[in-house]
Structure 1
Amino acid sequence: MKSNELLDIVVNTIENKKAEDIISLKMNEISDMTDYFVVCHGNNERQVQSIARAVKEAAHENGLNIKRMEGFNEARWILIDLADVVIHVFHKDERNYYNLEKLYQDAPSKNYGQAVH
C-alpha cells in the first residue's frame, strides 16, 4: 500500500472518531524516519483511547502491521507507528505543550476540518 493511501485510511478513521484539529505533516522531505506524521487530539482519555483503538482496528482490517504503539494506558499522548505513517493522538492538554507542528514547521502540512490552534 502506498503511503498516501495509508494516510487517507488513517485520516478517515480518526475523523470518524471525532478527533480534533487533524493535521498531516509530510515528513519524507525533511526526514527519513517516515513519510507522514498525523497529529490530532481528543478531549479526554476515553476519546484518545477510542481514536487509537480505531486506528489499530483499521490497520488490522487492511493487513497492516503496527510497528509500535505507546502511551495507550495513560492516554495523554499515544504514538502509533505504521512505518510509512506515524500517528500522534494527544489529549488536548498535552498537544499544546508538545506542539509537534511547531517543531516540524518546515514540513509541508495539510489541515483536515478545524484549524489548528
Structure 2
Amino acid sequence: MRDDLQVAVRAADEKGATAPVALEVTEQFGLSDVFLIVSGSVERNVQAISDGVEDALNAAGVRTVRREGRESGRWVLLDFGDLIVHVFHHEDRDYYQLEKLWQDAPLIDTQSMLPQPQNQDPASDS
C-alpha cells in the first residue's frame, strides 16, 4: 500500500499538486486503508493532477475502481480500492475540510515520499 501511495504522491507533485495529506483510515473507514488529499490551483490543474495520478497508478498495475468529478475539475475522487485519492480545487478543499472530518485518522508522512532536492553547492560536499 505504501508503494502505491508513494506513486500517487509523486505523480500529483509532478503535476503541481499542493498540500498533500495522507490519512490512515483503516479503523474509521472499512472500505479503504488510505485517503490521499491534494489541491490544485485551477480546474485544469485539478484535472491534470487526477489524470497524472491515475495514469501513474495504472502503469504500476493498480486498477481504477471508480472515478468521479473529473468533468467539473473541482473535486475529483479516484478510488483504487485500498487507496482513495481526493484532488480538490483549493477553494473546495477549504470548504469541505476533509482533514477536519477525518481528524482522528493518523497522518502518514508524505514529504518523505517526494524526491529530495539535490544540493547544488559543490562546496558543501567537502
Pair in the same fold by TM > 0.5 = yes
Residue 111 of structure 1 and its aligned partner are, at CA, apart by: 5.3
Aligned to 1:96: 94
1:30-109 residue pairs with structure 2 within 5 A? Answer: 30-109=28-107
Q: Deviations over 1:61-116 (max 9, x none)?
A: 11221000100000000000000100000001100110000000000013545xxx
User: C-alpha distance in 2, partners of 1:88/1:108?
Assistant: 17
Cα RMSD (Å): 1.1
Is the 1:17–1:50 Cα contact (8 Å) retained in structure 2? Answer: yes
TM-superposed deviation, 1:30: 2.1
Percent of paired sites with the same residue: 36
2:26 counterpart residue number: 28
Please give the alpha-carbon distance, in whole angstroms, between the structure 1 residues aligned to 2:29 and 2:72.
28
Aligned length: 111
Q: Under a length normalisation based on structure 2, what TM-score does the superposition of the two structures give?
A: 0.84
- Corresponding residue for residue 14 of structure 1: 12
**4+ runs of 1 displaced by more than 3 Å?**
110-113
Structure of higher CA gyration radius: 2
Structure 2: give runs of 5+ residues left out of the alignment: 112-126
The unaligned stretches of length 5 or more in structure 1 are none
Give SS of 1:74's match: coil
CA deviations 1:12-51 (Å, max 9, x no partner) are 1111112011000001132212010000110001100000
Residue type at the aligned position of 2:28: I
Q: Could you tell me the TM-score, scaled by structure 1's length?
A: 0.90
Cα distance in 2, alignment partners of residues 5 and 60 from structure 1: 13
2:94 partner amino acid: N
